[in-house]
Amino acid sequence: MDWEQVFASRTSRMKASEIRELLKLLDQPDIISFAGGIPDPALFPKKEFEQAFASIFASGESDTALQYSVSEGYKPLRQWLVNEMGKIGVPCDIDNILITSGSQQALDYLGKLFLSPNDTALVNWPTYLGALGAFNAYEPQYDRLIANGNRSADDYKQQAAEQGGKVKFAYMSVDFANPTGETIDANERKNILKLAEELDIAIIEDAAYQALRYDGEAHAPILAVEIQQKGSIEDCRTLYCGSFSKTLAPGLRVGWICAAKSVITRLVLMKQASDLHSSTINQMAIYKVAKDHFETHVPKIRDVYKSRRDKMLVELEKHMPKTVRWSQPEGGMFVWLTLPDGMDGAELLAKSLETQRVAFVPGKAFFADGSGANTIRLNFSRPDHATIEEGISRLGKLMKEAV
């Protein structure tokens, strides 16, 4: 059978994630990998999860854990999140929270909720590759979101109309973004809010790395800034996407959306039609561990990741050619390198794997317009100090040969 003739047109926009493919390299023992944006499993609260799962079965909660459940999510976990959102300036109640199967599912749902074919999504250049993958299925166009640019709302609207659709939302990773490690500052957050109001569009605030700040002053989430302006979350256009993947355990796939109830209601219908609900037993385990250990566990991983970030920055300064520039992230998991013009990150990766056995992610895939060939992303959360020192030394040697 010729399957191509029956596939939906949207499948042509679906491409393999370069990052997911590179993760397969982690199984090769001689590869030094700065590729995956993943936590260090040595830092997972394994004993705490072991106790949490055991207590679910020992306490008679197993019937609830193994049964179908409500689409909105496990109520105690949602209530815990209400309290946590309040701590970062987002007063809300339990009906403003939807549990998702990781924040990636949240992005998929929001793409489905807002995008008709040829509608425009505003994104940074570069932006999170997983967001582009989630949105691509709904056949959008992309335009560049510039927080301090001189483009008017009318200019964005005209560009979208020429593409056959409307501007529907602005998406950004606000703190220590994947892939650049950069943070949108307080003034830029206000500018994005102003632009969104002029365009009358939604804002998708991806806060996956918000808890991983190592230096500098924390900025209020865009949703918190908007609530200060509007007075209530019900009047806000910002949708906040959070995740436990970077703080507790990515494998349990638990994330959440915090937004106005009118939006959450629509998303719940989507959840019902998709997977009914996220794994109840995983939500229960996350709740137990978060309730008792989140406040003590997160500072521990911050300390480790900060040390590894510092080590990577030192080694980059020591080994990189003067023509290479890199970001100075205040948190998160990534350092973003800009190579000399004409140097291709994908070609460099091929040479690196062949000669130096060092893996990283070429930057081009993070650009919606296919630019950025002379960029790469390095992850510092997974490798230890010795690995960082050796890997950056090898990479610096390769780059010096290439320039």
CATH code of residue 212: 3.40.640.10
Check pLDDT > 80 for residue 127. Answer: yes
> In this prediction, what percent of the chain has a pLDDT beyond 90?
89
Same domain, 224 and 359: no
- Average of per-residue pLDDT across 122-137: 95
Phi-psi category of residue 89: left, alpha or beta, with phi > 0 → left and psi -120 to 50 → alpha: left
Check pLDDT > 70 for residue 24. Answer: no
Q: For residue 148, what pLDDT is reported?
A: 81
Number of domains present in the structure of the chain: 2
Same domain, 99 and 146: yes
> In this prediction, what percent of the chain has a pLDDT beyond 70?
97
> Please, what is the average pLDDT of the chain?
94
Check pLDDT > 70 for residue 202. Answer: yes
The answer to whether 127 touches 204, Cβ cutoff 8 Å, is no
18-32, 266-280, 349-363: the lowest-pLDDT one: 18-32
Same domain, 125 and 215: yes
Backbone CA torsion sign across 90, 95, 101, 107: negative
Same domain, 73 and 217: yes
Per-residue pLDDT band for 18 (boundaries 50, 70, 90) equals low
Check pLDDT > 80 for residue 27. Answer: no
Local structure of 202: helix, strand or coil = strand
Check pLDDT > 90 for residue 384. Answer: yes
Q: For residue 113, what pLDDT is reported?
A: 97
> Which amino acid, one-letter code, is at 21?
E
Check pLDDT > 80 for residue 209. Answer: yes
Check pLDDT > 80 for residue 149. Answer: no
Check pLDDT > 90 for residue 344. Answer: yes
Same domain, 311 and 255: no
Reading the block at residue 292, the tokens are 């008792």
Check pLDDT > 90 for residue 379. Answer: yes
Check pLDDT > 80 for residue 25. Answer: no
Q: For residue 29, what pLDDT is reported?
A: 81
Residue 358: CATH number of its domain: 3.90.1150.10
Same domain, 73 and 120: yes
Per-residue pLDDT band for 174 (boundaries 50, 70, 90) equals very high
- Average of per-residue pLDDT across 362-369: 94
Q: How many whole angstroms separate alpha carbon 120 and alpha carbon 350?
A: 34
Question: Taking every pair of C-alpha atoms in the chain, what is the biggest distance, in angstroms?
Answer: 64
Same domain, 274 and 361: no
Check pLDDT > 90 for residue 131. Answer: yes
Q: How many other CB atoms sit within 10 Å of the CB of residue 262? A: 8
Last residue of a domain, one of 272, 293, 314: 293
Q: For residue 6, what pLDDT is reported?
A: 87
Q: For residue 75, what pLDDT is reported?
A: 98
Could you tell me the end-to-end alpha-carbon distance of the chain, in angstroms, rounded to an integer? 49
Q: What is the pLDDT of residues 267-320, one digit of tens each?
A: 999 999 999 999 999 999 999 999 999 999 999 999 999 999 999 999 999 999
Per-residue pLDDT band for 335 (boundaries 50, 70, 90) equals very high
Q: Per-residue DSSP letters for 285-346?
A: HHHHHHHHHHHHHHHHHHHHHHHHHHHHHHHHHHHS-TT-EE---SBSSEEEEEPPTT--HH
Same domain, 19 and 133: no
The answer to whether 287 touches 77, Cβ cutoff 8 Å, is yes
Backbone CA torsion sign across 205, 209, 211, 214: negative
Tokens 């109840």, located at residue: 280
Q: What is the pLDDT of residues 59-101, one digit of tens each?
A: 989 999 999 999 999 999 999 999 999 999 999 999 999 999 9
Q: For residue 20, what pLDDT is reported?
A: 60
> Which amino acid, one-letter code, is at 323?
T
pTM value is 0.94
- Average of per-residue pLDDT across 343-359: 93
Last residue of a domain, one of 293, 308, 338: 293
Last residue of a domain, one of 258, 293, 328: 293
DSSP type of residue 352: I
Q: For residue 153, what pLDDT is reported?
A: 94
- Average of per-residue pLDDT across 121-149: 94
Q: Taking the mean position of all CA atoms in its chain, how far away is CA 328?
A: 18
- Average of per-residue pLDDT across 2-30: 73
Same domain, 219 and 337: no
Local structure of 143: helix, strand or coil = strand
Length of the chain, in residues = 403
**Residues 6+ positions from 40 with CB-CB distance below 8 Å:** 301, 304, 381, 382
Q: Are strands 167-173 and 202-206 parallel, antiparallel or unpaired?
A: parallel
- Average of per-residue pLDDT across 233-240: 98
Same domain, 226 and 310: no
Q: How many whole angstroms separate alpha carbon 73 and alpha carbon 121?
A: 28
- Angle, alpha carbons 259-242-153 (nearest 5°): 55
Same domain, 211 and 354: no
Q: Tell me the residue range of the domain where 109 lies.
A: 46-293
Same domain, 170 and 109: yes
